[in-house]
């Protein structure tokens, strides 16, 4: 694993492939590699869909070895959804196959001329890029059918659906699983749009003729891997809960904790949870001849996934993940497992982030476009995206765009990315993650659920947050609904210092439950000194008969020259001079 493949799609004579040694990126993999490359090579102010942005795809350091559960793939870029750095992660076969070919990363860069539809093929003989217009407009499932016929069932494919081609901010990148279904998605942050902006529709990777990566010290590796796999099998979560019920085992527990956002984050518990829980879903899968325990790539020990068949017993989709079931289920008031599975299938096919889509449909429901609980309407709305209608494009642009388009106040996003399935008001630790990660609302950036709810790796009572997380929580409105802070100013996030800023006695038990704003005490040179204020007020016609200017007014009123202008009254000779000074003309001064 020492090669990095760069594909410059903007090169003068068509896509240029360069193979280079990992060099300064050697020794890191996965999220570390993708984020390091993005931080080092992508100018932060560039347009996410422009030539300067790069899409970085990397397997983990141990991918391609015999190590258990080593097959996750990381994809990074500047996000068109949040405008910041983004890392999105997927299962499926791609990571193992890439690593076996010795590839540490693929970097797509530049911007193509025209509207190509590139198919990249990678095998042990090299990398080829071909413009294949026949693949244009295909959904992921149809695309895989075509590629299966061409390359057989052994390849792993990384691809985008129509949403990625349309460069929609909620577009995902699909990876095929062991059955060649495009069901494992790097969902978050619109990474699919960036792949679309490079004109790349699919990357087909074939590791035929390559061996499993050999460790330097086989004995030590084997021993360590044995401990690792035994640990995974023995732990009640990775050896019991996850294989039996999948990640959706969380629906019930998060619901019981009151952190299961329902009807666009209006309440924290969903009445229909038992119909969509992991327990119900696993039983249904087994009954219909699907699978409740299934791995998404070779060498997965945990096997948290499954296969979901429709009522006739035909394959519909993989076992929907917890976040998907929540997003399309509780958050939209939908308690029909088949409808949720259908939405999951559509998201996979069109190439969309299920979290963002569930949140967007819920905001559309709040806007009155359809009713909460309207499963049919939700399915139609997602189908619109595949058709590329104006409404579909709006839905595919995410919850923030939908809310703004309909003038909705309650939009559950951080940095324009939809909050996932954990309400930060009931589970405050995850609120800190949402608020502090540069990636916006992203539960993978600090999974506080483990300690707040699951008591795995420690325990912190979720509603008894201290310090910063208090500001995120607000008591519900009288109608029981919650309001979001539009903006939490930094000074509100500080705890009040007893004895300095609070009136009355300051024994710890009498402290305010909610942080009160700090008053700024220190004199700053650009503020009017209190001793000068009276003098200035006398000459201030604007404030006659009104409240005196406060520190805040002064701070807001900008530069010293502007403030001077304000306090001397407009229209005076000095202010004319000052205006001239401000706009830098010599004319006004002479």
Smaller CB distance to ligand SF4: residue 296 or 363? 296
Name the minimum Å distance from CB 238 to ligand SF4.
8
- The helix/strand/coil state of 116 is coil
Residue 156 interacts with other proteins (CB under 8 A)?
Answer: no
Name the minimum Å distance from CB 405 to ligand SF4.
34
Element at 316 (helix H, strand E): strand 315-318
Name the minimum Å distance from CB 94 to other proteins.
22
Instruction: List the strands of the sheet with 85-90, edge to edge.
Output: 16-21, 3-8, 103-109, 55-59, 73-78, 85-90
Residue 302 interacts with ligand SF4 (CB under 6 A)?
Answer: yes
Q: Which does 297 bind (CB under 5 to 8 A by kind): other proteins, ligand SF4, none?
A: ligand SF4
Name the minimum Å distance from CB 239 to other proteins.
10
187, 171 Cβ separation under 8 angstroms: no
Binding mask 233-262 for other proteins (x = CB under 8 A): --xxxx-xxx-xxxxxxx-xx--xxx----
Q: Which residue carries 């409240």 as its tokens? A: 547
- The helix/strand/coil state of 212 is coil
75, 57 Cβ separation under 8 angstroms: yes
Instruction: Count other Cβ atoms within 10 Å, centred on residue 407.
Output: 7
Residue 75 interacts with other proteins (CB under 8 A)?
Answer: no
- The helix/strand/coil state of 299 is coil
Residue 425 interacts with ligand SF4 (CB under 6 A)?
Answer: no
Binding mask 275-314 for other proteins (x = CB under 8 A): --xxx------------------------x----------
Query: End-to-end distance of the chain based on CA atoms, in angstroms?
Result: 70
Residue 69 interacts with ligand SF4 (CB under 6 A)?
Answer: yes
CA-closest candidate to residue 68, choices 189, 279, 233, 219 = 233
Residue 9 interacts with other proteins (CB under 8 A)?
Answer: no
Percent helix, strand and coil across the chain, each to the nearest 5: 40, 15, 45
CA-closest candidate to residue 158, choices 55, 34, 47 = 55
Name the minimum Å distance from CB 460 to other proteins.
10
Question: At CA 550, angle to CA 548 and CA 554, rounded to 5?
Answer: 115
Smaller CB distance to other proteins: residue 263 or 269? 269
Phi and psi at 86, nearest 5°, equal: -140, 140
Backbone Cα Rg of the chain: 28
Binding range to ligand SF4, per CB under 6 A, among 11-19, 46-54, 293-301, 481-489: 293-301
CA-closest candidate to residue 354, choices 318, 300, 303, 314 = 318
Residue 456 interacts with other proteins (CB under 8 A)?
Answer: yes
Residue 305 interacts with ligand SF4 (CB under 6 A)?
Answer: yes
Smaller CB distance to other proteins: residue 201 or 328? 328
Q: Which does 69 bind (CB under 5 to 8 A by kind): ligand SF4, other proteins, none?
A: ligand SF4
Name the minimum Å distance from CB 250 to other proteins.
5
Binding range to other proteins, per CB under 8 A, among 266-274, 306-314, 398-406, 410-418: 266-274
CB-side neighbour CA atoms (13 Å) of 80 = 29
Binding range to ligand SF4, per CB under 6 A, among 22-30, 100-108, 133-141, 290-298: 290-298
> What is the binding site for ligand SF4 (CB under 6 A)?
69, 71, 91, 295-297, 300, 302-305
> What is the binding site for other proteins (CB under 8 A)?
235-238, 240-242, 244-250, 252-253, 256-258, 268-269, 274, 277-279, 304, 322-323, 421-422, 426, 443, 447, 449-450, 453-456, 459, 461-463
């Amino acid at each position: 694993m020492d090669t990095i493949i760069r594909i410059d799609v903007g090169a003068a004579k068509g896509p240029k492939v360069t193979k280079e040694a990992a060099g300064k990126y050697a020794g890191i993999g996965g999220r570390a590699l993708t984020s390091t490359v993005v931080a080092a090579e992508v100018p932060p102010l560039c347009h996410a869909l422009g030539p300067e942005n790069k899409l970085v795809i990397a397997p983990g350091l141990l991918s391609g070895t015999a190590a258990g559960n080593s097959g996750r793939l990381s994809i990074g870029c500047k996000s068109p959804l949040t405008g910041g750095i983004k890392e999105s992660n997927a299962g499926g076969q791609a990571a193992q196959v890439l690593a076996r070919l010795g590839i540490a990363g693929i970097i797509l860069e530049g911007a193509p001329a025209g509207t190509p539809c590139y198919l990249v093929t990678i095998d042990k003989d090299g990398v080829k890029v071909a413009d294949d217009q026949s693949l244009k407009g295909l959904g992921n499932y149809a695309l895989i059918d075509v590629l299966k016929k061409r390359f057989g069932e052994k390849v792993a494919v990384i691809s985008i659906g129509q949403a990625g081609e349309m460069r929609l901010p909620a577009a995902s990148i699909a990876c095929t699983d062991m059955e060649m279904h495009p069901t494992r998605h790097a969902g978050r942050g619109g990474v699919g749009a960036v792949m679309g902006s490079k004109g790349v529709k699919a990357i087909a990777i074939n590791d035929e003729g390559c061996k499993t990566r050999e460790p330097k010290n086989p004995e030590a590796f084997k021993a360590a891997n044995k401990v690792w796999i035994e640990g995974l099998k023995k732990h009640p979560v990775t050896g019991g809960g996850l294989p039996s019920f999948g990640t959706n085992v969380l629906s019930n527990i998060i619901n019981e904790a009151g952190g299961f956002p329902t009807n666009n984050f209006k309440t924290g518990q969903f009445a229909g949870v038992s119909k969509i829980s992991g327990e119900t879903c696993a039983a249904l899968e087994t009954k219909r001849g699907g699978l409740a325990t299934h791995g998404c790539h070779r060498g997965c020990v945990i096997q948290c996934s499954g296969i979901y068949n429709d009522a006739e017993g035909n394959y519909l989709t993989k076992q929907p993940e917890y976040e998907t079931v929540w997003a399309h289920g509780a958050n939209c008031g939908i308690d029909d497992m088949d409808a949720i599975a259908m939405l999951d299938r559509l998201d996979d096919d069109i190439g969309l982030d299920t979290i963002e889509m569930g949140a967007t449909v819920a905001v559309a429901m709040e806007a009155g476009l359809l009713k909460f609980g309207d499963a049919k309407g939700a399915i139609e709305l997602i189908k619109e995206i595949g058709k590329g209608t104006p409404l579909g494009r709006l839905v595919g642009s995410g919850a923030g765009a939908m809310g703004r388009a309909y003038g909705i106040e309650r939009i559950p996003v951080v940095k324009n990315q939809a909050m996932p399935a954990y309400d930060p008001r009931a589970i405050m630790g995850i609120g800190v993650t949402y608020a502090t990660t540069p990636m916006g609302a992203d539960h993978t950036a600090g999974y506080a659920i483990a300690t707040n709810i699951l008591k795995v790796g420690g325990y912190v009572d979720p509603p008894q947050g201290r310090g910063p997380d208090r500001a995120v929580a607000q008591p519900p409105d009288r109608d029981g609904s919650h309001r979001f802070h539009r903006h939490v100013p930094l000074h509100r996030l500080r705890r009040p210092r007893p004895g300095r800023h609070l009136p009355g006695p300051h024994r710890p038990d009498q402290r305010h439950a909610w942080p009160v704003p700090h008053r700024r005490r220190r004199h700053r040179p650009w503020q009017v000194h209190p001793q000068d204020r009276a003098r200035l007020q006398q000459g201030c016609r604007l404030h006659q008969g009104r409240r005196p200017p406060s520190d805040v007014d002064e701070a807001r009123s900008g530069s010293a020259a502007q403030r001077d202008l304000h306090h001397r009254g407009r229209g005076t000779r000095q202010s004319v001079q000052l205006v001239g000074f401000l706009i830098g003309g010599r004319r006004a001064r002479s």
